[in-house]
Amino acid sequence: MSVAVIGGGPAGLIAAEALSAAGCGVTVYERMPTFGRKLLIAGRGGLNLTHSEPFARFKSRYGEAGARIGPCLDAFPPEALVAWADGLGQPTFVGSSGRVFPRALKASPLLRAWLRRLTEQGVNLRPRAEWLGWDEAGALVFRDLPPARPDAVVLALGGASWPKLGSTGAWAELLKARGVAVAPFRPANCGFVADWSEPFRARFAGAPLKPLALSFEGRRLRGEAVVTDYGLEGGGIYALSAPLRDAIAREGTAVLELDLRPDLAEDALARRLSRPRGGQSLANFLRKTAGLPPVAVNLIREAAGGAVPVDLAHAIKHVPVVLTAPRGLERAISSAGGIAWSAVDERLMLKALPGVFVAGEMLDWEAPTGGYLLQACFATGAAAAKGVLARLAVGAVM
């Protein structure tokens, strides 16, 4: 039995591994010159494979898509991903935040070992192979390659974020033309635009905000953010990106509230600030009394239109930042939107295209950073492979 896997990221490669291990002849077609480019970028700061938190809480991170993606995670949970990495000679460790990383803290050793395993299993890896759709006879068409007629197909072409790495979302039009429902792409895990004054932007772009708590629509979390020339980005911002993005789409803006001293209650902070200021500048007074760096002091002024708030304790604990737009897909870490869950069956096969399975960010789900993105890509890739094997009546593995 022959299977074509189109897309050489984590979802496609894990599907190829499972299919070849079960005895299928597998060819992986990748448009870019090399495989796993987005995985390598993700690993620059330490490859966050998955998360060690309780599994029920883990699954809740997928929001509305959790009911559909949950069975994939059940079949390929974080422990399975950790065991898989260990089998490649890439043991993992759990960081202080609960995130799981390879001990090498890089993607390249893991990717090299993975591609070596795939080659040893007989997987045919075809880079620079751009998929163009199907011809009139139903064969797969590639640029500068002969048509292919596999027994099954796994599409793992990614979403639409960071298109320069290969995930352009161009496949959406090909599938819509074949009757597949595709939800519009939206940026996820992205930064947001704020209308900073020019002096604030010029002085503080690149300055971190920490410690920090962020609140929006009744949700409060600890995290960090970075002031940029366009607004804010960082882990705390990414964690709230979905509700912030959706609020902006509904109302035009979203007001994010920042607590610049999350470890100190407002009344205790007020007592500290009641001390005589003497001849100190406000910046020095707040630095010594409240532990605020210059960026925090000036952010308070920025939020107050340049004025010094009368109630400083309240101002420090409740800094409103008006966000006007999410950053575009070209800079988002991931994307929402994609193939509607109603368009696939329980085995991730497209209802409109029997024998064609989909995996990874092509499906309409989103999750925060912290290991959830990669885990779902691996889990849906493994699930698509099992779906193929069930359709072809081949003994499944993994």
Q: Is residue 306 part of a domain?
A: yes
Residues 276 and 352 placed together within one structural domain of the fold: no
Instruction: Please identify which residue in the block is written with the tokens 């065991």.
Output: 83
For 9-20, what is the mean pLDDT? 98
Asked if residue 116 belongs to a domain, the reply is yes
Number of H helices, E strands in the chain: 15, 19
Q: Are residues 44 and 174 in the same domain?
A: yes
Q: Do 197 and 138 belong to one domain? A: no
Q: Which residue, 269, 297, 326, sits at the end of a domain?
A: 326
Contact status, residue 157 vs residue 7, Cβ threshold 8 Å:
yes
pLDDT over 50 (residue 398):
no
Percent of the chain with pLDDT over 90: 88
| 47 and 155 assigned to the same domain | yes
pLDDT, one tens digit per residue, over 36-80 is 998 988 767 789 999 999 999 999 999 999 999 999 999 999 999
Decide if 141 is inside a domain.
yes
The first and second tokens of residue 356, run together, are 């064609």
- Tens of pLDDT, residue by residue over 124-164, are 999 999 999 999 999 999 999 999 999 999 999 999 998 88
Confidence (pLDDT) at 276: 87
Cα separation, 117 vs 17, in Å, equals 8
251 falls within a domain: yes
Domain count of the fold of the chain: 2
- Tell which of 305, 326, 347 closes a domain: 326
397 in any annotated domain:
no
Q: What is the CATH number of the domain that holds 54?
A: 3.50.50.60
Domain containing 221 equals: 192-326
Burial of 164 (0-12, 13-18, 19+ CB in 10 A): exposed
Task: Specify burial of residue 206 (Cβ count, 10 A radius: 0-12, 13-18, 19+).
Answer: exposed
User: Could you tell me if 154 and 218 lie in one domain?
Assistant: no
User: Which of 273, 294, 326 corresponds to the end of one domain?
Assistant: 326
pLDDT digit string, tens, across residues 212-239: 999 999 999 999 999 999 999 999 999 9
pLDDT in tens, 347-395: 999 999 999 999 999 999 999 999 999 999 999 999 999 999 999 986 5
Residue 203 lies in a domain: yes
> Is residue 398 situated within a structural domain?
no
For the record, the structure tokens of 93 come out as 């460790």
Check whether residue 276 and residue 374 sit in a common domain. Answer: no
What pLDDT does residue 396 have?
44
Note the Cα 17 to chain centre separation in Å: 23
Alpha-carbon distance 284 to 277, whole Å? 9
**pLDDT interval class at 12 (50, 70, 90):** very high
Q: Does 214 share its domain with 261? A: yes
Q: Name the more confident of 163 and 345.
A: 345
Q: How many CB atoms lie within 10 A of CB 320?
A: 11
Q: Are residues 41 and 174 in the same domain?
A: yes
Residue type, 5: V
**Do residues 227 and 314 share a domain?**
yes
| Residue range 246-250: mean pLDDT, rounded | 97
Same domain, 73 and 116: yes
The predicted model gives 253-272 an average pLDDT of 96
**pLDDT tens profile 87-127:** 999 999 999 899 999 999 889 999 999 999 999 999 999 99
Q: Are 234 and 319 found together in one domain?
A: yes
pLDDT in tens, 267-322: 999 999 998 888 888 889 999 999 999 999 999 999 999 888 889 999 999 999 99
Looking at the fold, whether 254 and 371 belong to one and the same domain comes out as: no
CB 397 within 8 A of CB 16: no
- pLDDT tops 60 at residue 397: no
